[in-house]
Amino acid sequence: MRFWIRLIWQFLIFKFVISEGRNFRVIFDNISISNVDPEVFEKFDCQLYQINNRSFVDTSHIFKETVTDLKVHAALDFWKAKSPKMTLYDLEFDGCHFLQNVHKNRLFNIYAKTLKKYSNISFKCPFQANVLYAVRNMTMNEQDFPSFVPLGKFRSLIEYSVNQKLSSRVFVNGKIISYSTDPFKISK
Ligand SMILES: *[C@@H]1O[C@H](CO)[C@@H](O)[C@H](O)[C@H]1NC(C)=O
Ligand SMILES: *[C@@H]1O[C@H](CO)[C@@H](O)[C@H](O)[C@H]1NC(C)=O
Ligand SMILES: *[C@@H]1O[C@H](CO)[C@@H](O)[C@H](O)[C@H]1NC(C)=O
Ligand SMILES: *[C@@H]1O[C@H](CO)[C@@H](O)[C@H](O)[C@H]1NC(C)=O
């Protein structure tokens, strides 16, 4: 009897551990930056690299002048296989403290949390002139996401406006792929 209880118990623990893993991965295919206003930015660039099936991003921003008025427009479109586009968020907000605030949109929160984790300086107003605001080795941690995420493609748009004028636009194209990280490869 005790043997069975122990077996069932161990099975439950085992199942719990497995289901805590994530069987997907967030891949960035490409990032494009456009409309960079040379009066606002001394430098604004971005590198994307893929290591062991994981995407990493480095970005550098240097402002020419101190920035005290920053607005952000952020949108995320998602395409599940053979399905029409879904807009998961489309937000406009004050960018001065956007990494400090908690956002109502859970997906956007994941993004803000990730950016904050990999940046080496607080991204908040006033943004200083001639200081490097860098993000290094940023990668999406699947554990931050809900355990079930549909597979598909996405496109993320971020537009920054400084003093009410568009100063840069960033598009990130990527996908959510099935990716088994557990050694047992449970079949679907
Ligand atoms: C990367 O993905 C490929 C194809 O799915 C797989 O064969 C390879 O083992 C993966 N590499 C790592 C380091 O996970
Ligand atoms: C941020 O990192 C860059 C290099 O990655 C460095 O040059 C810069 O001084 C750092 N800034 C701060 C405030 O640590
Ligand atoms: C970036 O992360 C990868 C994987 O975690 C690591 O191998 C690499 O050394 C890191 N690079 C830097 C500059 O931190
Ligand atoms: C960027 O990646 C998407 C797929 O996510 C692809 O459709 C598009 O052609 C790529 N664009 C460039 C410029 O490589």
> pLDDT digit string (tens) for 72-121?
999 999 999 889 999 999 999 898 987 777 777 788 888 888 988 999 88
Closest-CA residue, ligand 1 atom 2, reads 53
Residue of 56, 61, 62, 121 to mutate, ligand 2, most atoms within 8 A of C-beta: 121
For ligand 4, whether the C-beta of 29 sits within 6 Å is: yes
Where are the extended beta strands (E) located within 35-144?
A: 41-51, 54-63, 70-80, 86-94, 132-138
Q: Are the C-beta atoms of residues 160 and 63 closer than 8 Å to each other?
A: no
pLDDT of residue 187: 43
pLDDT of residue 56: 97
Query: According to CATH, what is the number of the domain 24-178?
Result: 2.70.220
Whole-angstrom distance, CA of residue 107 vs CA of residue 173? 16
> Domain spans of the chain?
24-178
Show the low-confidence residues of the chain (pLDDT under 50).
Answer: 14-19, 183, 186-188
Compute, in angstroms, the gap from residue 186 CA to the centroid of ligand 4: 31
pLDDT of residue 188: 40
